[in-house]
Amino acid sequence: MDSYMSVLKSLEHSVMACQSKLNLILVDASHLEERCVASSESDYVQAWSKVHGADGILVPGGFGERGTEGMIAAAQWARENKTPYLGICLAGSIELSPECSNPVIIFMPEVDKTNMGGTMRLGSRPTVFQEGSDWSKVRKLYADKKVITERHRHRYEVNPDYIESLSKAGLHFIGKDEKGVRMEIIELQNHPWYIQLKRGSSPPQRNAFPPVKPREVFKKRYKTIVKLGYGGGSTVWLVRDLNL
């Protein structure tokens, strides 16, 4: 769980700010994949039972192929069933399948594909909310500011060639970089809470005292769960390995 510590702390701080409790349910994302049925049908059934019974779904960042199809399936379920969902970073189609016919996620042009050391887009970066995004729940979290600054850690981005078609299909890219080229925040308009962030989840300071305020997207997501009348705020957290 050390690799997810910043996410866990953000959730804990958000719950405390809401004066509530969090029932965090860990689910191995690979158990949500159909191929799991052949190896362990009971794991498949139990995993999906947890997803179906959850009040919200969280998919944290990560690398590699393992469990990704399960994460995609859970994201689809959350979208179709109006379940609050928060996705953080994660790589994408090029990393998972370099020969795919529709490379929606690609290496950033400035990244050295052979020498991975020190090639990530790191540190605090500005995100500009786009015109026509007044309806955005994320934007309202930041008091309708035009520009916000959050920490980043990634080397992939949404392929600009697909932005127009994805936008027409209802995937709203409400936040972009200062040049308007790199996609930062994705949101569905007609959904209680469906957010995908390209940035990381780390707070701006590691050793602040008093502690930094909880990340607003976590806090608001939890409040959304409570407001919609879902149980005790149980959240399914999809991980790649329950033994981390």
Tell me which residues of the chain have a pLDDT lower than 50: 91-95, 201, 203-212, 214, 221-222, 224-232, 243-244
Residue 103 lies in a domain: no
Give the pLDDT of residue 207. Answer: 42
Give the pLDDT of residue 82. Answer: 93
Residue 99 lies in a domain: no
Residue 227 lies in a domain: yes
Range of the domain at 130: 2-93+125-239
- CATH code for the domain in which residue 133 is found: 3.40.50.880
Residue 100 lies in a domain: no
**What pTM was estimated for this model as a whole?**
0.75
Give the pLDDT of residue 191. Answer: 93
Give the pLDDT of residue 130. Answer: 92
Residue 244 lies in a domain: no
Kindly report each contact of residues 158-161 with a partner whose C-beta sits within 8 Å and lies 24 or more positions away, as own/partner. 158/104, 158/105, 158/182, 158/183, 158/198, 159/103, 159/104, 159/105, 159/106
Residue 186 lies in a domain: yes
Give the pLDDT of residue 1. Answer: 53
Residue 195 lies in a domain: yes
Give the pLDDT of residue 217. Answer: 53
| 8 A C-beta contact, residue 56 and residue 223 | no
Q: How many domains does the chain have?
A: 1
Residue 113 lies in a domain: no
Give the pLDDT of residue 230. Answer: 41
